[in-house]
Amino acid sequence: MVKLYIDVIIQVDKNGKIDPKYIKAGYEGEWIKVKAKKRNSMASLQLGAVGVRYTCDIVYNEIPREIYLFGEEDGRWCIEANDGN
């Protein structure tokens, strides 16, 4: 697995709570709707990402999936991706 940085559209409420709404991913770089189910402050042991991990549901190519989306401390967002090997 590799760390893949992606564009993310987020919503921030009046209390500062951040919810990811869309990620720009896939083969064509399309926007994919995200439903965040769980939020934990933690690091990814596989990726070395430090910050907040969101457990999210997405539907990509009509297939429902669960992904981990990481909001890093420096403001960037990443997901786990296959390294092609």
Q: pLDDT 10s per residue in the chain (85 long)?
A: 778 899 999 999 999 999 999 999 877 889 999 999 988 886 665 666 668 889 999 998 899 999 989 998 889 999 877 655 4
* Tokens encoding 13: 């409420």
Residue 80: which residues within 8 A CB-CB, separation 6 or more?
1, 2, 3, 4, 44, 46, 47, 67, 68
Q: Distance between CA atoms of 51 and 72, rounded to whole angstroms?
A: 4
How many angstroms separate the most distant Cα atoms in the chain?
Answer: 44
Give me the pLDDT at residue 33, please. Answer: 96
Pair type for strands 30-33 and 18-25? antiparallel
